[in-house]
Amino acid sequence: MWIVIIGAGVAGCVMARRLALLDGVEVTCLERVTRDDHSEAGTGLNVGPNAVKALRAVDPELTDAITRASFSWRNWRISLTDGTVLFDLPLSDVAEGPGWRIRWSELYRVLREAAGSRVAYGCEIMALGRDATDPRKTSVAWRQNGKEFRLDGIDLLIACDGRYSSVRRAISGDVPVRQVGVAISRVLVPDTSNGLIDDYEQWFNGPNRLLAFRVPPDHIYIACAFPIVPEADIPSELKTPEALRAAYTPPHGPPGAQAKWLIDTVCANVAETHWARMQEHDVLYGATDCNVLYLGDSAHGMVPTLGQGATQAIEDAANAAALIARCYKDGERDAASWLTGIEALRRERMRFVMEFSLAATDTMLAGSDPVKGTKHKTEAPFRQKLSRLYGDIGPLLERT
Ligand SMILES: Cc1cc2nc3c(=O)[nH]c(=O)nc-3n(C[C@H](O)[C@H](O)[C@H](O)COP(=O)(O)OP(=O)(O)OC[C@H]3O[C@@H](n4cnc5c(N)ncnc54)[C@H](O)[C@@H]3O)c2cc1C
């Protein structure tokens, strides 16, 4: 049986490693970048406790390797930029264990090392589509090191090629995107804060939000966010040091010590800062007429507010790998029935995660009041939803 995975990012590496353990299954993972290119160097990730729990259920060894490359995410604090604390939550109140704080490049390095020889790097996909003889199967042609390769009769094609998935576009059509009207930046800097910044924190000045946390070895990840007109580009005049200083400086008095360090650091690193707009796209786990599975960002696009992008890519892969392994060992070799099972396991969960992430963005929208919006986050209904977010990884993994 042939399984081909496109993309050795978060979901792709977890899948390649688990599926290669199945006797009689040939797994190939085709990755576009070269072996040592773990390039998302400008980003730190906070990965939720739900991903740690889900991955531990299927791959404790890989979970431990990521833990060794991370700092624990144990606390979430929200303040105003003048230093007034609005929300201070130990994650142990809402989760069974901590999450991870890690550099994106480090997460990729650990995952790709763990996926080992199943990943072929530097692959350019030349053609991809339904197989000529069996329309439920697929064919892929690619070029690597100047040579051309082709595989026909693929029993299961798994798209793990991220938010601009060319597999999803080729098989299931264009993916409409919804802009929410928030600009977001990212920059990774050496830690010169003298202990001011450590675990995950956010600071508001009106709807303008700073976010920062420390990642190994000794860096701080900073993300700025502010409202923009939905569907419009981010105005270049809002990305200047002067505009950013004005956006985060409180109106009545100086910033607190943490916000002051962050504002100075953000303004000094404008040239290295990457900008994006918060957006969403609809959930789709499988093609209807052929055996193509979508996982991670290719299956769903959510706003990054609750740090659930990579987190859900891991949760997706852990669930999909567990379901495929169980079916395969029980003699159920029909990939179409696996797709139905994965869809049933994941669709409602993903709707909940996307809706919750969008609802939690309320304090970043134009005209919002962060004090009122954050007060609501200290109340029982929000905490209950957080417990569900961080704990409810699905019945299959709970039994594993
Ligand atoms: C600025 C920023 C901050 C973020 N912060 C967080 C956070 O704090 N917490 C969190 O959980 N998530 C966060 N995310 C989201 C998270 O990074 C993604 O959701 C996650 O990486 C998705 O995993 P994936 O496996 O679906 O795809 P990816 O990890 O994006 O991997 C896709 C892989 O496919 C490869 N690929 C793409 N096209 C092809 C092709 N045609 N052929 C072969 N290979 C291909 C790519 O090179 C890549 O290796 C953030 C994202 C951004 C942009």
Say yes or no: CB of residue 227 within 6 Å of ligand 1: no
Indicate the residue type of 161.
D
Report the separation in Å between the CA atom of 372 and the middle of ligand 1, taken as the mean of its atom positions.
33
pLDDT along the chain (400 residues), means of 10: 97 98 97 86 90 98 98 98 97 98 96 97 97 95 98 98 96 94 96 98 98 97 97 95 98 96 98 95 95 98 96 98 97 96 97 97 94 93 98 92
Report residue 351 as tokens: 């709707």
Report the separation in Å between the CA atom of 305 and the middle of ligand 1, taken as the mean of its atom positions.
16
For residues 384 and 400, what is the distance between their CA atoms, to the nearest angstrom?
A: 24
At residue 202, the pLDDT reads 98
Other C-beta atoms within 10 Å of 60: how many?
10
Write phi, then psi, for 79 (nearest 5 degrees): -135, 170
Q: Whole-structure pTM over 0.85, yes or no?
A: yes
**For residue 7, which atom of ligand 1 is closest to its CA?**
34
Say yes or no: CB of residue 247 within 6 Å of ligand 1: no
Give the CA angle between residues 279, 282, 286 to the nearest 5°: 140
For residues 120 and 104, what is the distance between their CA atoms, to the nearest angstrom?
A: 20
At residue 40, the pLDDT reads 65
Q: How far, in Å, are 32, 36, 169 from residue 121 at the CA level? A: 6, 9, 22
At residue 125, the pLDDT reads 98
Report the separation in Å between the CA atom of 166 and the middle of ligand 1, taken as the mean of its atom positions.
13
Say yes or no: CB of residue 160 within 6 Å of ligand 1: yes
At residue 37, the pLDDT reads 87
